[in-house]
Chains A and B, each alone.
Chain A
Amino acid sequence: MTKEEAVSRLTDTIAKFVAYTGKCLPDDVRAKIRELAAEEEAPLAKAIYECMDRNQKLAVERNCPSCQDTGAVQFFLKCGAGFPYIGELPDLLREAVVRATKDAPLRHNCVETFDEYNTGKNVGTGIPSLFWEIVPGRDDLDLSTYMAGGGCTLPGKAMVLMPGEGYEGVTRFVLDVMTSYGLNACPPLLVGVGVGTSVDVAALHSKKALMRPIGSHNSNPRAAKLEQLLEDGINKIGLGPQGLMGKRSVLGVNVENSARHPSVIGVAVNVGCWSHRRGHIVFDRDLNYTIDSHSEVDF
């Protein structure tokens, strides 16, 4: 395979994968929604879950995006320092988004700031967003894809607490987002919480938390405990599907963290909606790929 062929193959696969994630939710999200739907008894909540289920089936049948808001595309890369096409990735990821936009088709969701016009291609300055981690000693590419919809991006919030406010303050911060903007972000929500020093660090953690599979846990036992406590607590609020009340509120709560300066606790929340369009694909150096987010994927 020449480099040119390789780049074209990589672009093509990613373009198809992105388009696919717009019409079919990942396995863990589908399973969790089924589980939550089965618990509901109220006719209202049941009717909404039935509608969601029907919508997802129709999207596959008609081969079109399941939600009209196909979001702004974001990529989270864990790229081996020895991955042969590392230098080509920024350009080819843009090209993949342009192609997916045409093929899916995706809604045009990229507006240049200040100049305030829609580029019509879903690419622009800094879009798609690329969040890099270079992994020394590896030669593969671990890629998470995400469509950040407007409704579910809106509740995002970060702030720096004083240590005196403690994890009690973190809890308050997360819960307050749930009953304000969270309500209109199309629950049941996946809640990402980031904890670290400054708002930038916390915010990135909170988004990366949304890339973790539902039901996975933070490796720190206390952080994992906070995940569970928040999940149970938010579920008790009973937002239900679409915030119209029900037995549960969330698909899950994922916490990501790093160390902090002793004088501050940076905290951030990001939420994913029920239509949580995350994908996960891993390429080896020969571009063989495995997709573990969507088992039925078929290009």
Chain B
Amino acid sequence: MAKKILTTPISAEDLEDIHIGDVIYLNGYLTTCRDVAHRRVIEEGRELPVDVRGGAILHAGPIIRALGDDRYEMVNVGPTTSMRMEKFEEAFIAKTGVRLVIGKGGMKDGTMRACRDHKALHCVFPAGCAVVAAVCVEKIVSAEWKDLGMPETLWTCKVNEFGPLIVSIDTHGRNIFEENKVIFNQRKEEAYEAIIPEVRFIK
């Protein structure tokens, strides 16, 4: 199977044939964006200082080494739990026109609606693989909202085949984590029924 690679700026058409469970990669630009940045854009109505229309954001707080002269190096960058941004993500996608939201774990209905209506994806980068992510970063091209501190600064990175990214929400209204949960719970009940006759140790 050929590697599916998206390149920013991403168009709605680029995402049409991508479905939950697909593995994709990203070329181009990626901006780290998490809790407070979401809050500023949505609750305080501020403009994101980085144009992410057709672009990608990553829920992450990286470890950055400052090289002086406003130059920086990415040491280590792992995704953080996306669910914390669920409250804002629907409005955030609508307002900024971002096409790719990358993080850890699933997101819920709001993000799912935004992905369907505004043509965007939520993807998971395998957590615990912070070194793989760091080597996909070619360079850091800008740092905005530095007043938020290192983890929350908007670090825009030039990335090369950033991934693997597992599509968890697609543009067709599907959500892999929510669908899996139903299956997992069913299987759990079967497992439980199979175990209990074997553990009646109290008689």
CB of A89 closer than 8 Å to a CB of B: no
Q: B128 contacts which of A107, A170, A222, A273 (Cβ < 8 Å)?
A: A273
B 39-72 to A, binary, CB cutoff 8 A, 1 in contact else 0 = 0000000000000000000000011000000000
- Count how many pairs of residues, one from A and one from B, have CB atoms less than 8 Å apart in the complex: 137
Q: B192 contacts which of A151, A175, A183 (Cβ < 8 Å)?
A: A175
CB of A77 closer than 8 Å to a CB of B: no
**Which B residues, 66 to 83, have Cβ-Cβ distances below 8 Å to chain A?**
75-78, 81
**Which A residues, 162 to 176, have Cβ-Cβ distances below 8 Å to chain B?**
163, 166-168, 170-172, 175-176
Contact across chains for B202 and A238 when beta carbons are under 8 A apart: no
Contact across chains for A238 and B184 when beta carbons are under 8 A apart: yes
Q: A179 contacts which of B81, B188, B198 (Cβ < 8 Å)?
A: B188
Q: In whole Å, how far is A137's beta carbon from the nearest beta carbon of chain B? A: 34
**Which B residues, 130 to 149, have Cβ-Cβ distances below 8 Å to chain A?**
130-132, 135
A43–B63 Cα distance when bound, in Å, is 31
Contact across chains for B166 and A44 when beta carbons are under 8 A apart: yes
Contact across chains for A58 and B131 when beta carbons are under 8 A apart: yes
A275–B129 Cα distance when bound, in Å, is 9
Contact across chains for B127 and A233 when beta carbons are under 8 A apart: no
Contact across chains for A237 and B23 when beta carbons are under 8 A apart: no
A 42-70 to B, binary, CB cutoff 8 A, 1 in contact else 0 = 01100110111011001100101111110
Name the prevailing secondary structure of the B interface residues: mixed
**Which A residues, 240 to 255, have Cβ-Cβ distances below 8 Å to chain B?**
241-245
Contact across chains for A48 and B185 when beta carbons are under 8 A apart: no
Known A-B contacts A107-B63, A166-B200, A233-B194; A54 and B128 likewise in contact (beta carbons under 8 Å): no
Q: Please give the number of chain A residues whose Cβ is less than 8 angstroms from any Cβ of chain B in the complex.
A: 54
Contact across chains for A171 and B166 when beta carbons are under 8 A apart: no
Contact across chains for A244 and B166 when beta carbons are under 8 A apart: yes
Contact across chains for B1 and A43 when beta carbons are under 8 A apart: yes
Q: In whole Å, how far is B195's beta carbon from the nearest beta carbon of chain A? A: 5
Contact across chains for A171 and B195 when beta carbons are under 8 A apart: yes
Q: Which of A4-12, A211-219, A224-232 contacts B (4 or more CB under 8 A)?
A: A224-232
**Nearest chain A residue, comparing its CB with the CB of B190:** A236
Name the prevailing secondary structure of the A interface residues: helix
**Nearest chain B residue, comparing its CB with the CB of A171:** B195
Contact across chains for A55 and B130 when beta carbons are under 8 A apart: yes
Contact across chains for B202 and A51 when beta carbons are under 8 A apart: no
Q: In whole Å, how far is B77's beta carbon from the nearest beta carbon of chain A? A: 7
Contact across chains for A62 and B124 when beta carbons are under 8 A apart: no
B 1-30 to A, binary, CB cutoff 8 A, 1 in contact else 0 = 100000000000000000001010000000
Q: Which of B92-100, B111-119, B152-160, B173-181 contacts A (4 or more CB under 8 A)?
A: B173-181
Contact across chains for B131 and A242 when beta carbons are under 8 A apart: no
Contact across chains for A151 and B76 when beta carbons are under 8 A apart: no
Contact across chains for B131 and A239 when beta carbons are under 8 A apart: no
CB of A15 closer than 8 Å to a CB of B: no
**Nearest chain B residue, comparing its CB with the CB of A229:** B195
A65–B192 Cα distance when bound, in Å, is 38
CB of A199 closer than 8 Å to a CB of B: no
Contact across chains for A238 and B199 when beta carbons are under 8 A apart: no
**Nearest chain B residue, comparing its CB with the CB of A154:** B81
CB of A123 closer than 8 Å to a CB of B: no
A-B contact pairs, 17 of them (CB 8 A): A44-B21, A47-B164, A51-B126, A58-B132, A64-B75, A65-B76, A67-B128, A151-B81, A151-B127, A166-B202, A175-B192, A179-B181, A179-B185, A229-B198, A236-B187, A237-B191, A274-B128
